[in-house]
């Protein structure tokens, strides 16, 4: 059998979005045509303050940027600026990456939920393809820009906010029960702010673990800027003249190697540590939907592929719970939850799914997990608790409603138990 190449999310990407502004390219490069997007009148507006918060999850980053901007002139100014969107790659039938350039903003598969507002009012963002093919390294990798316009009165200060979600570039392959996933990296082009007037007056960038283990978060670039504050990394600055050296490169997920063993357990190496992903636990539920013909919704279904637990209480399932008791108590690295009834897309949408789950370990360590409305399994990191875990209580706190049924479903739960050393693995057959 030939090896099979599998790409995470169906494609390999190189970053997503970055700081607003753009790069000046020096005007016309060939008769009658200006290559790609060029900012307009940004040199009259200064960023007085920038606050960037990045919540780093297991598969994507949630980005929130708040600017305070001021017109430095005594005249009305209309500025045109853009956020750069990096290239995305698909792999063709012979395994060679090919650039895929989106023609519209809603075709961007790795930049989701982009919104921009100024003074509290929403702004339009228009997709502009980048056609530059010159030697200026600043444009390397940019597939296009999300372009907006803002009008400032003379001397006016105005708040501007941008939000989006950015998936990480990550390649995954699997063959014969073994596999590998590249590092998941978030990138952000602070350098595009150089087109605004003067320096960035003050700034604060905070990188927060949000569904990842704090020890997995690594600042690759820039060096010697960030300081640790609790589980987060923070960079505060004044009068910054941003350059390419200030662009961010953050590792949110380490390289992963996984091997499936005889018996169905999966062993995973994340960086330097090993875990075993397993369903070796007993499970009970606060309530269960009665069987329907040949369909069984018992709590035990979360240990199997293809089925689903469904709570049976009146209402959407808020307050209902599952309790797991591992056969062998080990410290947990993570809990992997496949939310909803994932057998088909129709069943997933028809039934309710957990949106927020309260998690309690050994009746003493409590935290909450936000669950995206997606069929993708959600890996919830366990941080700050290294005792062997005897009981796990998962309580539904918020719900994504179903289109047809109130019944809340969870399809599968895997426990990632932390191991003391590299295991001796008997390969699966």
Total domains present in the chain = 2
User: Could you tell me if 183 and 169 are in contact, meaning their C-beta atoms sit under 8 angstroms apart?
Assistant: no
**Is 372 within the bounds of a domain?**
yes
Cα–Cα distance between 312 and 291 in angstroms, integer? 10
What's residue 74's pLDDT? 97
Domain boundary among 196, 218, 253: 253
Per-residue pLDDT at 15:
42
Same domain, 151 and 221: yes
Q: Is the pLDDT of residue 429 over 70?
A: no
Where a domain ends, among 253, 280, 295?
253
* pLDDT given at position 26: 61
One domain, residues 236 and 272? no
Residues 193, 303 share a domain: no
User: What is the percentage of the chain residues whose pLDDT exceeds 70?
Assistant: 85
Buried-exposed string 407-417: b where 16+ CB fall within 10 A, e elsewhere: bbbbbbbbbbb
Q: Please confirm whether the linkage preceding 250 is cis (ω < 30° from 0).
A: no
Q: Which two tokens stand for residue 311?
A: 């709570």
Structural element, H or E, at residue 277: strand 273-278
Q: Identify the pLDDT of residue 18.
A: 61
Residue whose tokens read 């919830």? 380
Residue-range definition of the domain harbouring residue 400 = 259-418
- Distance separating alpha carbons of residues 279 and 416, to the nearest angstrom: 9
Most confident listed range (85-94, 167-176, 328-337): 328-337
Question: Has residue 121 been placed in a domain?
Answer: yes
Does 364 lie in the same domain as 331? yes
Average confidence score pLDDT of the chain: 85
Where residue 106 falls among pLDDT bands split at 50, 70, 90? low
Whether residues 75 and 214 share a domain: the answer is yes
Distance CA 317, CA 341 (A): 14
pLDDT reported for residue 12: 31
Strands 227-229 and 232-240: antiparallel
DSSP assignment letter at 140: T
Place of tokens 């063959």: 175
Q: Indicate if 108 and 155 belong to the same structural domain.
A: yes
Give percent of the chain above pLDDT 90. 59
Question: Do residues 323 and 283 make contact, with C-beta atoms less than 8 angstroms apart?
Answer: yes
State how far the Cα of 332 lies from the Cα of 415, in Å rounded to an integer: 7
pLDDT of residue 16: 45
Same structural domain, 223 and 247 = yes
Give yes or no: residues 170 and 275 share one domain: no
Question: Hey, which residues does 270 pair with through a beta bridge?
Answer: 256, 273
Domain co-membership, 202 together with 334: no
Residue 177 CA to its chain's centroid (Å)? 26
Last residue of a domain, one of 253, 268, 296: 253
Torsion of Cα atoms, 245 then 246 then 252 then 255, to 10°? 0
97-101, 105-109, 345-349, 352-356: which range is least confident on average?
97-101
Please check whether residues 240 and 264 belong to one and the same domain: no
The pTM (predicted TM-score) of the whole model is 0.77
- Contact 52/237 with Cβ under 8 angstroms? no
CATH code for the domain of 327: 2.60.120.260
CA distance 320 to 355: 13
> pLDDT class for 416, splitting at 50, 70, 90?
very high
Helix, strand or coil, per DSSP, at residue 15: coil
Same domain, 330 and 247: no
CATH number of the domain where residue 196 is located: 2.60.40.3680
Whether the predicted pLDDT of 11 surpasses 90: no
Query: What average pLDDT does range 85-111 have in this prediction?
Result: 52
Q: Quick: pLDDT tens for 19-45.
A: 778 888 765 444 344 456 889 999 999
Does residue 163 belong to any structural domain of this protein? yes
Answer whether residue 423 is part of any domain: no
pLDDT at 93 exceeding the cut of 50 = no
In terms of domains, do 305 and 229 share one? no
Task: Check if the beta carbon of residue 66 is closer than 8 Å to that of residue 51.
Answer: yes
Question: Above 80 in pLDDT, residue 173?
Answer: no
Weakest mean pLDDT among 80-89, 299-308, 353-362: 80-89
The winner for highest mean pLDDT among 23-27, 84-88, 220-224 is 220-224
Considering the domain boundaries, does residue 425 fall inside one? Answer: no
pLDDT digits (tens, 9 = 90+) for 229-246: 999 999 999 999 999 999
């Amino acid at each position: 059998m030939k090896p099979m190449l599998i790409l995470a999310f169906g494609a390999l990407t190189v970053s997503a979005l970055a700081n607003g502004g753009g790069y000046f390219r020096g005007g016309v490069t060939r008769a009658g045509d200006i290559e790609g997007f060029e900012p307009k009148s940004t040199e009259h507006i200064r960023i007085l303050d920038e606050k960037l918060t990045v919540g780093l999850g297991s598969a994507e980053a949630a980005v929130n940027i708040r600017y305070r901007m001021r017109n430095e002139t005594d005249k009305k100014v209309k500025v045109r600026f853009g956020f750069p969107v990096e290239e995305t790659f698909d792999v063709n039938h012979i395994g060679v990456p090919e650039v895929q350039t989106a023609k519209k903003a809603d075709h961007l598969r790795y930049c989701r939920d982009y919104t921009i507002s100024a003074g509290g009012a929403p702004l339009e963002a228009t997709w502009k393809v980048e056609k530059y093919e010159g030697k200026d390294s600043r444009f390397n990798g940019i597939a296009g820009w999300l372009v907006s316009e803002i009008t400032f009165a003379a001397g006016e200060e105005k708040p501007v906010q941008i939000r989006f979600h950015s998936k990480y570039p990550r390649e995954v392959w699997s063959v014969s029960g073994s596999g590998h996933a590249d590092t998941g990296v978030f990138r952000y082009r602070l350098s595009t702010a150089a087109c605004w007037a003067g320096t960035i007056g003050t700034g604060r960038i905070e990188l927060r673990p949000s569904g990842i283990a704090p020890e997995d978060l690594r600042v690759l670039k820039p060096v010697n800027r960030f300081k640790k504050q609790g589980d987060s990394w923070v960079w505060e600055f004044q009068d910054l003249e941003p350059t390419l050296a200030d662009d961010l490169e953050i590792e949110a997920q380490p390289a992963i190697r996984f091997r499936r063993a005889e018996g169905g357990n999966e062993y995973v190496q994340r960086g330097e540590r090993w875990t075993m992903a397993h369903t070796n636990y007993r499970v009970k539920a606060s309530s269960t939907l009665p069987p329907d013909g040949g369909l069984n919704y018992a709590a035990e279904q979360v240990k199997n592929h293809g089925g689903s637990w469904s709570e049976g209480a009146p209402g959407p399932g808020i307050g209902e719970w599952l309790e797991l008791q591992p056969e062998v108590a080990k410290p947990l690295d993570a809990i992997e939850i496949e939310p909803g009834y994932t057998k088909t897309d129709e069943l997933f949408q028809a039934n309710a799914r957990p949106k927020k789950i309260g998690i309690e370990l050994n009746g003493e360590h409590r935290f909450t997990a936000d669950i995206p409305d997606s069929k993708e399994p959600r890996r919830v990191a366990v941080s700050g608790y290294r005792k062997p875990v005897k009981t796990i209580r998962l309580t539904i706190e918020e719900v994504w409603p179903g289109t047809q049924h109130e019944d809340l479903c969870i399809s599968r739960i895997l426990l990632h138990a932390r191991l003391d050393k590299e295991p001796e693995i008997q390969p699966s057959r």
